Amino acid sequence: MTGTRLWSLRNLLIVGLLCGAVGVFVMLGPPGLLAKSETPLFCASCHVMETEFEAWFREGAHRTIRCVDCHLPHQNVATHYVWKSIDGMKDVVFFYSGTVPEIISLSPRGQKVLQANCVRCHESIVSNIDNERQCWSCHRRLSHIRSGAIETR
Protein backbone atom coordinates (compact mmCIF):
# COMPACT_ATOMS: atom_id res chain seq x y z
CA MET A 1 0.00 0.00 0.00
CA THR A 2 1.15 3.48 -0.73
CA GLY A 3 1.62 5.97 2.06
CA THR A 4 -1.26 8.16 0.83
CA ARG A 5 -3.73 5.28 0.67
CA LEU A 6 -2.70 4.04 4.13
CA TRP A 7 -3.14 7.56 5.50
CA SER A 8 -6.65 7.75 3.92
CA LEU A 9 -7.69 4.41 5.42
CA ARG A 10 -6.39 5.49 8.82
CA ASN A 11 -8.34 8.77 8.58
CA LEU A 12 -11.47 6.91 7.51
CA LEU A 13 -11.11 4.58 10.49
CA ILE A 14 -10.59 7.52 12.86
CA VAL A 15 -13.64 9.35 11.47
CA GLY A 16 -15.71 6.16 11.77
CA LEU A 17 -14.65 5.65 15.38
CA LEU A 18 -15.38 9.29 16.23
CA CYS A 19 -18.84 9.05 14.65
CA GLY A 20 -19.50 5.86 16.61
CA ALA A 21 -18.32 7.47 19.84
CA VAL A 22 -20.52 10.52 19.24
CA GLY A 23 -23.48 8.22 18.51
CA VAL A 24 -22.94 6.27 21.73
CA PHE A 25 -22.49 9.53 23.69
CA VAL A 26 -25.73 10.99 22.32
CA MET A 27 -27.67 7.80 23.04
CA LEU A 28 -26.26 7.18 26.50
CA GLY A 29 -24.37 10.31 27.48
CA PRO A 30 -26.04 13.56 28.37
CA PRO A 31 -28.51 12.91 31.17
CA GLY A 32 -32.04 13.51 30.06
CA LEU A 33 -31.26 14.07 26.36
CA LEU A 34 -32.99 10.89 25.25
CA ALA A 35 -35.88 11.49 27.66
CA LYS A 36 -36.24 15.09 26.48
CA SER A 37 -36.51 13.93 22.87
CA GLU A 38 -39.62 11.94 23.82
CA THR A 39 -41.58 14.92 25.16
CA PRO A 40 -44.44 16.55 23.22
CA LEU A 41 -42.65 19.92 23.44
CA PHE A 42 -39.65 18.41 21.66
CA CYS A 43 -41.89 16.96 18.94
CA ALA A 44 -43.42 20.39 18.35
CA SER A 45 -40.16 22.34 18.62
CA CYS A 46 -39.41 22.47 14.90
CA HIS A 47 -42.93 23.62 14.02
CA VAL A 48 -43.60 20.64 11.73
CA MET A 49 -46.02 19.34 14.32
CA GLU A 50 -47.17 22.66 15.77
CA THR A 51 -50.82 22.25 14.73
CA GLU A 52 -50.89 18.66 15.98
CA PHE A 53 -49.32 19.73 19.26
CA GLU A 54 -51.94 22.45 19.75
CA ALA A 55 -54.75 19.96 19.06
CA TRP A 56 -53.24 17.44 21.50
CA PHE A 57 -52.69 20.13 24.15
CA ARG A 58 -56.27 21.41 23.99
CA GLU A 59 -58.08 18.05 23.81
CA GLY A 60 -58.72 16.26 27.10
CA ALA A 61 -58.58 12.46 27.04
CA HIS A 62 -55.00 11.85 25.95
CA ARG A 63 -53.35 15.06 27.14
CA THR A 64 -51.41 13.17 29.80
CA ILE A 65 -49.57 10.86 27.39
CA ARG A 66 -46.67 11.60 25.06
CA CYS A 67 -46.62 11.57 21.25
CA VAL A 68 -44.29 8.55 21.30
CA ASP A 69 -46.80 6.56 23.38
CA CYS A 70 -49.19 6.50 20.41
CA HIS A 71 -46.99 7.03 17.38
CA LEU A 72 -44.02 4.69 17.97
CA PRO A 73 -44.00 0.90 18.24
CA HIS A 74 -43.57 -0.62 21.68
CA GLN A 75 -42.85 -4.30 20.92
CA ASN A 76 -39.28 -3.89 22.14
CA VAL A 77 -36.72 -1.16 22.84
CA ALA A 78 -34.74 -1.68 19.63
CA THR A 79 -37.80 -1.37 17.38
CA HIS A 80 -38.95 1.69 19.32
CA TYR A 81 -35.66 3.56 18.87
CA VAL A 82 -35.11 2.50 15.25
CA TRP A 83 -38.52 3.88 14.28
CA LYS A 84 -38.03 6.92 16.49
CA SER A 85 -34.86 7.67 14.50
CA ILE A 86 -36.52 7.07 11.14
CA ASP A 87 -39.61 9.14 11.93
CA GLY A 88 -37.52 11.91 13.51
CA MET A 89 -35.22 12.17 10.50
CA LYS A 90 -38.24 12.20 8.18
CA ASP A 91 -39.64 15.17 10.12
CA VAL A 92 -36.26 16.94 10.02
CA VAL A 93 -36.04 16.46 6.23
CA PHE A 94 -39.59 17.79 5.75
CA PHE A 95 -38.85 20.81 7.93
CA TYR A 96 -35.48 21.80 6.49
CA SER A 97 -36.44 21.09 2.88
CA GLY A 98 -39.57 23.22 3.23
CA THR A 99 -41.80 20.35 2.09
CA VAL A 100 -44.02 19.96 5.14
CA PRO A 101 -47.39 18.73 3.86
CA GLU A 102 -50.33 21.08 4.31
CA ILE A 103 -52.19 18.28 6.08
CA ILE A 104 -50.06 15.78 7.97
CA SER A 105 -51.59 12.32 7.81
CA LEU A 106 -50.65 8.86 9.02
CA SER A 107 -48.88 6.49 6.67
CA PRO A 108 -50.18 2.91 6.44
CA ARG A 109 -47.31 1.85 8.76
CA GLY A 110 -48.23 4.67 11.15
CA GLN A 111 -51.84 3.51 11.17
CA LYS A 112 -50.77 -0.01 12.15
CA VAL A 113 -48.56 1.34 14.95
CA LEU A 114 -51.29 3.65 16.23
CA GLN A 115 -53.91 0.87 16.19
CA ALA A 116 -51.56 -1.50 18.04
CA ASN A 117 -50.93 1.16 20.69
CA CYS A 118 -54.65 1.89 21.14
CA VAL A 119 -55.23 -1.82 21.73
CA ARG A 120 -52.14 -2.08 23.96
CA CYS A 121 -53.25 0.74 26.27
CA HIS A 122 -56.96 -0.10 26.27
CA GLU A 123 -56.56 -3.90 26.19
CA SER A 124 -59.04 -4.63 28.97
CA ILE A 125 -61.73 -2.49 27.33
CA VAL A 126 -61.26 -3.65 23.73
CA SER A 127 -60.67 -7.37 24.35
CA ASN A 128 -64.29 -8.21 23.49
CA ILE A 129 -64.67 -6.07 20.35
CA ASP A 130 -63.51 -6.27 16.75
CA ASN A 131 -59.89 -5.05 16.71
CA GLU A 132 -59.75 -4.97 12.91
CA ARG A 133 -61.60 -1.65 12.74
CA GLN A 134 -59.43 1.41 13.31
CA CYS A 135 -60.16 2.93 16.70
CA TRP A 136 -60.26 6.47 15.31
CA SER A 137 -63.00 5.54 12.82
CA CYS A 138 -65.43 5.72 15.77
CA HIS A 139 -63.45 7.92 18.14
CA ARG A 140 -63.10 10.74 15.60
CA ARG A 141 -62.11 13.41 18.10
CA LEU A 142 -58.80 11.59 18.69
CA SER A 143 -57.59 12.68 15.28
CA HIS A 144 -55.45 15.79 15.57
CA ILE A 145 -57.26 17.50 12.69
CA ARG A 146 -60.68 16.79 14.12
CA SER A 147 -59.75 17.43 17.72
CA GLY A 148 -62.12 19.84 19.37
CA ALA A 149 -64.67 19.48 16.57
CA ILE A 150 -67.78 17.40 16.93
CA GLU A 151 -68.55 15.34 13.85
CA THR A 152 -71.84 13.61 13.17
CA ARG A 153 -70.87 11.01 10.59
My answer on whether 55 and 12 are in the same domain is no
Burial of 75 (0-12, 13-18, 19+ CB in 10 A): exposed
Same domain, 67 and 21: no
DSSP the chain: --HHHHHHHHHHHHHHHHHHHHHHHHHHSSTTHHHHTTSHHHHHTTSTTHHHHHHHHH-STTTTS-HHHHHS--S-HHHHHHHHHHHHHHHHHHHHHT---SS----HHHHHHHHHHHHHHTHHHHTTS-TTS-HHHH-GGGSTTTTT-----
**Domain interval for residue 22:** 1-30
Specify whether 16 is located in the same domain as 72: no
Q: What pLDDT is stored for residue 153 in this prediction? A: 43
Q: Note whether 11 and 72 are same-domain residues.
A: no
The pLDDT of residue 60: 61
22 and 47 inside one domain = no
Whether 149 maps to a domain, the answer reads no
What b/e readout covers 109-147, taking b as 16+ CB neighbours within 10 angstroms? eeeebbbebbeeeeeeeeeeeeeeeebbeeeeebbbeeb
In order along the chain (153 residues), what is the average pLDDT of each group of 10 residues? 63 77 66 78 79 77 84 90 85 83 85 90 81 77 57 42
Looking at residue 123, its pLDDT comes to: 86
User: In terms of pTM, does the model score above 0.75?
Assistant: no
Are residues 120 and 94 part of one domain? yes
In a domain, 19, yes or no: yes
Give pLDDT, residue 150. 45
Q: Tell me what pLDDT residue 112 has.
A: 92
Asked if 21 and 50 sit in the same domain, the reply is no
* Counted domains in the chain: 2
Report the largest interatomic distance among the alpha carbons of the chain, rounded to a whole angstrom: 75
